[in-house]
Each structure stands twice: as structure tokens, then as C-alpha cells.
Amino acid sequence: MDNQTRMQRFGELMTNQGPEVIMSLIVLIIGLLLVKWVTRTLKVSLGKVIKNRTIVAIISNIVGILLLAIVITSASLEAGLKLEPVISALTVISLVAVGALILFRPFMPTMPFKVGQTVKAGNLLGKIEAMTILNTRLRTFDGKTFFVPNRKVLDDVVINYQSYGTRRVKVDVGIRYDQDLMKAKQVLEAIMVADPRVKERPGPVVYVLNLTNNCVELGGRCWVDNAKYWITKCDLLEKTKFGFDNAGIVIAHPQLDIHHYKSGAVTSMVEPADEPEPEAARATRTTP
């Protein structure tokens, strides 16, 4: 069959069934977009009510499979296909997919993070940009993009800094031993309480963490929204420095005190330095 004959048959096919094929593609594309939007919205809504992520994922995927079957059926009808074979095939496929999902979903490995979250995977710290079946795309805070194999992520320790909505801020500072301890604790607590980003429950607290050789270590603890963690921590550290300066509290720094003790007994044992020899004696000794 030459190319001219093929083009002629293709033209006849598009003339006879072109509108049905185009309408079927439109229904399929729009339906797939709607299915994706519905499943994503359902997953977010269920996540606010059901804390078990596995159950949320199973319900969302089942609904997505059923909606996908409806979209494919509608597109097939628009294309002029017979209804019974399509429904029969989709019913069997849907039942198999739903059954496999319910049975094997709890045993399938899942990534311990979502797109947009800040994580530390191995030695990499950054934000998750995308995930595929094979790898995870992570962008570090210095602008580098890493493609990490999923098997390596699942075999290593992963720290997810945004699994929960809140995060605790630590403000550690050391003061000298001659400073007013209670006043320093009150100043640090007042700084955290005055910040509108700090949560009221649990409220801010200040502890004495340690008594070191150089200082008394104080630790302020408060909770903030996860999205505001870094900027809040930086602001609280700056406010702590200014607050202590205004209150006259001296922040300690590493130092070494050397004490010199002069003992009379020790001094008496030190031989005095030789005095200069008189010129007459030198002249006498040097005369032959």
C-alpha cells in the first residue's frame, strides 16, 4: 500500500469519524484533569480528618480509579464504541486494581516526605521539588539540584522538618557568673512572649542548661509555625542580644584568667643578676 492510498483512507476515516474522535479526545483530556484535581482535593480534605496517611491514600486512589473508569467509558462512547465490551473490560480492570491496592498498599514503601517540604536525606539538606518512581529531586539552599535515587533515600536516615505544623525554637545564650540570673531569665522570656509569632500554648520557657567553666548557659524554648521557623529564630537571637545589652546583662565569651602568686621563699631562692664589674678591677685583671 503506497502513501497516497494511506492518506486517502485516513482522509475518509477523518471525514466519517473525525468529529467523534475529536470529541472523544476532548472528553478524555478534560476527564483526566478533573480526576487529578478531585483526587488531590480529596486527599487534602481527608488528611485534615484522618491522621492515618495510608488510609487516606487508599481511599483517594480508589476514588481516582473509579472516576478514571467513568472517564474512559465516556470517551469510548463518544468515539462510537459499543458500550457492553467497554464496561465489562473496565469493570474487570477496576476490580483488579482496587483489590491489589487494598491488599498490597500497606506493604508498598512510601517516601517519608511530600513535595515542598524541607528535609535532610543523608548529607543533603534542602527542599523537595519533585518525585518520580525512580528518583527524588532535591534543591539545596545554596542553589544546587540533586537527583537522589529513591532506593537510597529509603535505605538512609531522613529528617523531615515539616511533618507537623509547628516547630520548637531554641535560643541558647551564656551569661557571666557575676550577672543577675533571675533578671536574665525574665528578659529572655519577655522577648519570646512579646513576639507575635510565638505560640501561647505551649508557652515560652527558660531553663538553666549548664554551668560551664566560662558561663551560665540559658536556654529559651518556644513554639512557632513551621513556615516561620528560621526567620523567627534569627529575629529572637537578635532581640536577645539587644535586650541583654539594654538590661545591662553581660553575655559571656570564652576567656582564660591567669593568677600570678609571688612567694617570698621562692623569690629568695632566685640568684640575683651579676653586677657590672668596676673599671679598676678590669684594668687590674687585664694588666700582665
Q: What is the pLDDT of residue 211?
A: 95
Q: What is the pLDDT of residue 120?
A: 92
* pLDDT mean values, one per 10 residues, the chain (288 residues): 58 59 77 85 81 71 79 73 66 66 58 88 90 88 92 88 91 95 96 95 94 93 94 96 95 77 52 48 44
Q: What is the pLDDT of residue 35?
A: 83
Q: What whole-number distance in Å separates Cα of residue 156 and Cα of residue 120?
A: 10
Q: What is the pLDDT of residue 205?
A: 96
Q: Where are the alpha helices (DSSP H) in 105-225?
A: 150-155, 181-194
Q: Is the pTM of this model over 0.85?
A: no
Residues in the chain: 288
Helix, strand or coil, per DSSP, at residue 112? coil
- Parse the chain into domains and list their residue ranges: 14-107, 118-160, 166-247
Q: What is the pLDDT of residue 258?
A: 77
Q: What is the pLDDT of residue 273?
A: 46
Q: What whole-number distance in Å separates Cα of residue 248 and Cα of residue 255?
A: 20
Q: What is the pLDDT of residue 24?
A: 73
Q: Which residue, among 205, 137, 209, 199, has the nearest Cα to 164 in the 3D structure? A: 199
CB 86 within 8 A of CB 93: no
Region for 92 from its dihedrals, namely left if φ exceeds 0, alpha if ψ lies in -120 to 50, beta otherwise: alpha
Domain 14-107 has CATH 3.30.300: no
Dihedral sign of CA atoms 189, 192, 196, 197 in order? negative
Please give the full DSSP string across 227-255, using - where no structure is assigned: GGHHHHHHHHHHHHHHHHHHHTPPBP---
Q: What is the pLDDT of residue 57?
A: 72
Fold of 118-160: SH3 type barrels. (2.30.30)
Fold of 166-247: Alpha-Beta Plaits (3.30.70)
Q: What is the pLDDT of residue 282?
A: 46
Q: Which residue, among 137, 143, 140, 112, has the nearest Cα to 124 in the 3D structure? A: 140
